[in-house]
Every structure is written in structure tokens, then in C-alpha cells.
């Protein structure tokens, strides 16, 4: 019987569908000290929730595949897995539209203060005090820069088009299939735009790249939206920039040390904060769960992962 390890809090659809095909063993966290000799001997696949350190891969000598729940797999040591011939898969495409929808919502919430306006109504202030204040910012006339124009970034850009805003982007390689202006550096993009949407992965190169310099270039009418990873934004520099009104506002779905959110961020009225919910609808999380399980099934039944990550030994192989 093929044995799959489930670790920690698991999406119920993953558990249910894995149980229909495989034997399941569950442990509380990706901690090698929890790997018993039985687990080490039996486990050949696992479903990960963006936490799979090298030591855990080493502790499972028969492991063949790590199926990650999420398109971001920065918590999985994919290089180490590749060196040991272990396949890593993620869940691209199925969440692009949901994350892009949420990004547009967060952008509008940040610029038009919609959550604050709703709180005003719910608190009875509309009746007691009168109309909610005018939002100092508007999407009208904005120039939006996307830091990252991959699967999700492209869906965000497509959604921005009917809003009649200018759209530019920075990536390391220019895309041949879009007409948006490409800037070869993040600094040049930040200088050109007044709205910066961050949707790059967590990699060594993207660490705290949104810093004091970039925020100063964004300028006093500037709005920062981060839906990628908290790692990409220096939270200290952002808090400082907001305090000194270096930029006009920020909307964040992701944070450096989740679920901890720096208390200073909660003190700003021109900041909109979400608890990492960009893909968090029932329909999209079910689709992600299905892709996790379908990767496991496809690997164990056909020897072919559906969506291997680029580092994985399988990526780019068309001969199976």
C-alpha cells in the first residue's frame, strides 16, 4: 500500500481524497523527531503546506514526491529535494484569478477607504454624525506598476485594463506577449509609477527589495500593495515611510512573520490589512486541494507529476 504523510493542519478535501486512494499517516508538524522508524520506512509521498525543510526530506529515505498546497513553495527546500531525486509539485494556475480579484479589491479598499467607510456605517456614525469623509486618493489617473508579471501578475494587469489606468511592470525578463511598458529595474519602475503592486515569489533576490529607496521613489501620492510575500517588503521601512508620509497608503495581504502583524501597521488609517486571504475562497482552495491530490495520483499511477516546480528533476522533461 502506498503511504502518504499528511502534516499539520490539512485541507479536509486533501485528507478525504488521499484517504480514498492511499494509506495516510499524520503528524503534527514537519519535525524529523516525529518521524518514527515505521514512518521512515513507509512514507513515499507527502502533502505539504509550504513547510518542508531539508532535514525532513532527509528523515524520509523512501520519499518520492512532495505535493505542495500553494503556488508559492518557498517553505519547501526544493533544491535539496531535487538533489535527492524527490519531485516537488505546487498548485499554479488554479488560483490566479482569485488572487487577482482579491488584489483589485485590496487596491480599491486601500485607495477609497471602503473598509473604514463600512465600519463608519456599522458603528452608526452615518446616522449620528453624517457622511463619511471623502477619500483623499482615487484610482483615477493612476499609473500602476506590477513588480512581477507571471501567472497572477498578468491576471491582475488584465483586470486593471478596464479601469483606464496606465500599466507598467518590472521583471527580470521582458514578456514578449504584452504591450505594457517594461522597466529593467524595480527602482526605475517605482520612479515612473504612483501605485506599486508586488506579486513576486519569495526568493533570495526579492528579500526586502521594497525598501526606503523604493518607497521614496514611489512618492507622496504613492500606494503600495503587497499580495506576494511579506519577505519582499521591509516592514520597518514601510512603517517609517507611512509615518513620514513618504507614501500615501498601503494594502497588505502578506507579512514577514505571519500571523504576527506589526502593531504599528494597525495604527495607520491609510493602510488596509488582510490576513493572507488572496486565494481563500472555498472554490479556489478546493481546486488547490484537488491539484495536490491529482499530482500524487498522477505520480504514483503514471509516473508523471502534473505541475512540477522548476527545480524539480522532472521539470522540462517531455519524455516522462
Which residues would be at the binding site for ligand NDP (CB under 6 A)?
Answer: 71-72, 92, 95, 99, 148-153, 170-173, 199-203, 205-206, 227-229, 253-254, 276, 278-279
Output 63 or 206, the one with its CB closest to ligand NDP.
206
CA angle 135, 258, 104 (to 5 degrees): 35
Q: How far is the CB of 78 from ligand NDP (least distance, A)?
A: 12
DSSP state of 147: E
Q: How far is the CB of 301 from ligand NDP (least distance, A)?
A: 26
Phi/psi at 298 (5° precision): -65, -40
Active-site residue among 11, 217, 229, 285?
A: 229
Output 63 or 149, the one with its CB closest to ligand NDP.
149
Q: How far is the CB of 271 from ligand NDP (least distance, A)?
A: 16
Cell of 169: 511592470
CB 164 within 8 A of CB 114: no
Output 5 or 156, the one with its CB closest to ligand NDP.
156
Distance CA 8, CA 288 (A): 17
Output 240 or 290, the one with its CB closest to ligand NDP.
290
Active-site residue among 23, 38, 258, 301?
A: 258
229 is catalytic: yes
3-state secondary structure of 106: helix
Cell of 152: 497572477
Q: How far is the CB of 103 from ligand NDP (least distance, A)?
A: 8
For 132, how many CA atoms within 13 A lie in the half-sphere containing its CB? 15
Alpha helices for the chain (secondary structure H): 12-21, 37-42, 54-58, 78-83, 96-112, 114-122, 125-128, 151-160, 186-192, 212-218, 235-243, 282-302
**DSSP string for residues in 156-174:** HHHHHGGGT-EEEEE-SS-
Distance CA 308, CA 320 (A): 12
Q: How far is the CB of 257 from ligand NDP (least distance, A)?
A: 15
Distance CA 66, CA 48 (A): 6
Question: Who's near 194: CB < 8 A, 6+ residues apart?
Answer: 142, 143, 218, 219, 221, 222, 223
Distance CA 255, CA 239 (A): 13
Output 68 or 195, the one with its CB closest to ligand NDP.
68
Q: How far is the CB of 191 from ligand NDP (least distance, A)?
A: 16
Q: Which residue is nearest to ligand NDP (CB)?
A: 150
Output 14 or 43, the one with its CB closest to ligand NDP.
14
Active site amino acids: 229, 258, 276
Amino acid at each position: 500500500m502506498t503511504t502518504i504523510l499528511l502534516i499539520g493542519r490539512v485541507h479536509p478535501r486533501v485528507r478525504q481524497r488521499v484517504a480514498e486512494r492511499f494509506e495516510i499517516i499524520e503528524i503534527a508538524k514537519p519535525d524529523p523527531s516525529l518521524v518514527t522508524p515505521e514512518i521512515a520506512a513507509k512514507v513515499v509521498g507527502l502533502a505539504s503546506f509550504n513547510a518542508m525543510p531539508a532535514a525532513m526530506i532527509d528523515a524520509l529515505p523512501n520519499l518520492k514526491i512532495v505535493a505542495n498546497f500553494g503556488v508559492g513553495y518557498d517553505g519547501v527546500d526544493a533544491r535539496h529535494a531535487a538533489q535527492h531525486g524527490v519531485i516537488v509539485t505546487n498548485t499554479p494556475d488554479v488560483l490566479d484569478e482569485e488572487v487577482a480579484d482579491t488584489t483589485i479589491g485590496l487596491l480599491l479598499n486601500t485607495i477609497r477607504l471602503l473598509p473604514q467607510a463600512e465600519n463608519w456605517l456599522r458603528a452608526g456614525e452615518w446616522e449620528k454624525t453624517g457622511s463619511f469623509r471623502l477619500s483623499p486618493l482615487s484610482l483615477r489617473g493612476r499609473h500602476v506598476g506590477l513588480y512581477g508579471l507571471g501567472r497572477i501578475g498578468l491576471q491582475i494587469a488584465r483586470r486593471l485594463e478596464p479601469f483606464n489606468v496606465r500599466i507598467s511592470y518590472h521583471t527580470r525578463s521582458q514578456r514578449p506577449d504584452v504591450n505594457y511598458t517594461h522597466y529593467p529595474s524595480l527602482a526605475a519602475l517605482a520612479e515612473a509609477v504612483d501605485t506599486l503592486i508586488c506579486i513576486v515569489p519569495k526568493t533570495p533576490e526579492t528579500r526586502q527589495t521594497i525598501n526606503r529607496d523604493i518607497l521614496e521613489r514611489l512618492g507622496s501620492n504613492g500606494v503600495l500593495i503587497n499580495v506576494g510575500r511579506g519577505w519582499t517588503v521591509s516592514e520597518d521601512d514601510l512603517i517609517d515611510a507611512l509615518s513620514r508620509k513618504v507614501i500615501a497608503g498601503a494594502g497588505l495581504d502578506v507579512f514577514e512573520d505571519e500571523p504576527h502583524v506589526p502593531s504599528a501597521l494597525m495604527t495607520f488609517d491609510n493602510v488596509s490589512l488582510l490576513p493572507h486571504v488572496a486565494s481563500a475562497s472555498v472554490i479556489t482552495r478546493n481546486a488547490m486541494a484537488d491539484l495536490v491530490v491529482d499530482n500524487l495520483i498522477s505520480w504514483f499511477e503514471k509516473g508523471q507529476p502534473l505541475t512540477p516546480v522548476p527545480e524539480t528533476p522532472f521539470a522540462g522533461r517531455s519524455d516522462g
